Each structure stands twice: as structure tokens, then as C-alpha cells.
Structure 1
């Protein structure tokens, strides 16, 4: 999912990715194309689960493990949440543990091809263990948070956690397992 039109061109000279918020250094990190290109790349075989009820199975994603980003620009020790920011102000909130999870990528490609703008290029967050709305297309920043804030779709009634195996689609399901008070 996304919000807004598909960006048609990305000039590598003018494009950057930022790590903001509660960084360990207390400063904003601005990474250009060259800096990101120098980071290690891996291929991850993972599914993509859409909240609309379909899944794409066994996709090969190529990208930068988010753990490499966390090492390059670490969060403060009190950070427990993250906001992923995309083009046009789209946002998705995550637990820091989601960003640290095995297989989570700053994806630059899929199926042996660079990501097209329609599929989120040049950079898309891929979290195989969550519904796809948590992984913004056209990723522009990661913000470290000490308290949770709801993202774009979460403010509009989508579930805060988004676990596809538990069917966590809508906010009314939050806390439902606990039963009535």
C-alpha cells in the first residue's frame, strides 16, 4: 500500500535517505546513494502479504539488511519504536524489534531486477513477518522513537501490529484476545 502518486524519476544526485529522531549520536544521519551502495547486500526469500487478502509467495528480495543500518546509525538505548517515512508523508510505525528482525531489508530489488517506481524503487522497506503496509514504498527516512505513534494507516483504523499469521488487520482487533473488561 501507499499514498499518493508513483514518483516517476529519482535523481541519484539529489536523493537521500535519513535516520532521524532519537539516534545514539544525537544527530541526524543523511545517507546518499553512494553511501547506501557501499553497504552489504543480501538476497532474502520471503513472502509479501497484502492486507487485502492475497500473498505473493517466494519472492527473492535484494537489499541492505536493516541490521547494517542500525549499526551505521544506531538508536539510543531507550528507543523501542520506529516510524518509517516515505515519499509524500506516508508513514508506518513499527516496534524496533521488527526493524531488527532477521530478513528485514531496505530493498533495492526483487526477482533479480532493480525495484521499479511502481514497486517502491529506489528503496522499499520489506518486513516479511508483517503485512506489506508496514513496509513503505519510496522509503525516505527512519525515525527512532522512545514512544509509539500510529502511522498513516494505523490512524485510519488499521491494526498497530499487523501480524498476518494472526490476521491483525484492523484496530478493533487490538486487545480482543484479552476479552471484555
Structure 2
């Protein structure tokens, strides 16, 4: 029988992190405006057919099943927030609607204002990776990424990019915004991969 989550709390916090109860706000640039009538989410790069989805298509439940994922969140600035419940669509359910080339091994995540971050495709395929618009039963605050943010719980929080607008499938890895500025290309909190010189 599994131990209750509160008994394993210490084991859920990577070295160098401290637990917070609030949800700190950190991002580059201002909160973008959102108009559901004109907003779109694009999938492009190494796919058989580039696609664009409206906000209603993504979030209505008609095309993609709506899922929830319970996961801790670890920020590279050393705080962790436990027991978050995210709501949205799983990346693997989005993938079912795409014809991705076998040459694609990486994805560049594109967000508002040109912000980007890079991820291996294999990490996005994990069952807990989500395109989320809800947090703990309510819509995300705009400060936290509404209308859509990526949630990749096993990596540092900058990989869970806010204000998601598209995914570009690529053959080779390329650095995103923070990776170009010295952050680690992968960002595993359990290995403390904060910066490019970390293991």
C-alpha cells in the first residue's frame, strides 16, 4: 500500500528547493491580451500537415478529452509548490490528431511576444504533460498563463511556458529564450540542472 502523500512530502522536494504555499509570478514581458475570437494555436515544422486550432476547438471537449493532472511545480529560482491540479488536454491526445515525421525528436515551444523554450519530444509524450487552462479547479490567472500554458511537471518551471501559441516539431535541438541566456538545455530539478554548466 502506498504511503499517504503527506508522509512523502520531503521526498517530493528536490535538493536546493523550498516549499511555498503561494504561487509566485515570474515571466518575461507584460501579460498579453486575449481575444478568443482571433486567438489560435498552431502546430508546424516536421508534420505532414500544419494545423491551427481555435480556442473553442482546444477547450470545448469536442476534439480532445479534457484531463486533470496532479503534480508538483519546481521553479528554477528555488521554490516548489506542491499538490497542484492542472486542467486541460494531454499532449498525447493532441498528438493523436497530428501526423508527425519520424525525423522529429525535439519541439520548440512558441509563446506570446516571441518567447520560446525547447523540449525533447519524448518528454512531451509523458502522460502528465498538459496544455492547461485551469489550475486547482478554476481558470488560470492571466499572470499564470491563461488562456493556455504548457505544463511539464518533471522539469523546472520555465519549461512549463505561459501563453502558449504553438509547437514546432524539429529534427535537432535548438535553444529557446532562457537557454540562449545560460539556462540548462534540459532543466531536470532532481539533478539541479539550472544553468548550462550544471551536470
Query: TM above 0.5, one fold?
Result: yes
CA drift of 1:34 comes to 2.1
Determine the structure 1 residue equivalent to 2:138.
Answer: 113
Matched residues in 2 for 1:139 and 1:165: separation? Answer: 25
Whole-Å separation in 2 of the counterparts to 1:126 and 1:93: 13
Q: Which residues of 2 match residues 6-85 of structure 1 at below 5 A?
A: 6-7=31-32, 9-23=33-47, 25=48, 27-37=49-59, 38=62, 39-85=64-110
Residues 74, 135 of structure 1: alpha-carbon distance in 2 compared, 3 angstrom cutoff: farther
> Which structure 1 residue ranges, 4+ long, deviate > 3 Å from structure 2?
none
Structure 1 SS opposite 2:143: helix
Task: Using the TM superposition, give the Cα deviation of residue 75 of structure 1 relative to its aligned residue in structure 2, in angstroms.
Answer: 1.6
Q: Answer yes or no: is 1:165 the counterpart of 2:190.
A: yes
What are the Cα deviations for residues 57-98 of structure 1, in whole angstroms up to 9, with x where unaligned?
Answer: 010000100001111123211110000010000000000011
SS in 1 for 2:158: helix
Q: Normalising by structure 2, report the TM-score.
A: 0.83
Query: What is the aligned-residue RMSD (CA, Å)?
Result: 1.0
d(CA) in 2 for partners of 1:79 and 1:34? 28
Q: Aligned pairs, how many? A: 171
Specify the alignment match of 1:141 in structure 2.
166
Q: Distance in 1 between matches of 2:87 and 2:123?
A: 18
Q: Determine the C-alpha separation between the residues in 1 that align with 2:189 and 2:109.
A: 19
Kept in 2: contact 1:2–1:90 (CA 8 A): no
Separation in structure 2 between the aligned mates of residue 2 and residue 144 of structure 1, nearest angstrom:
24
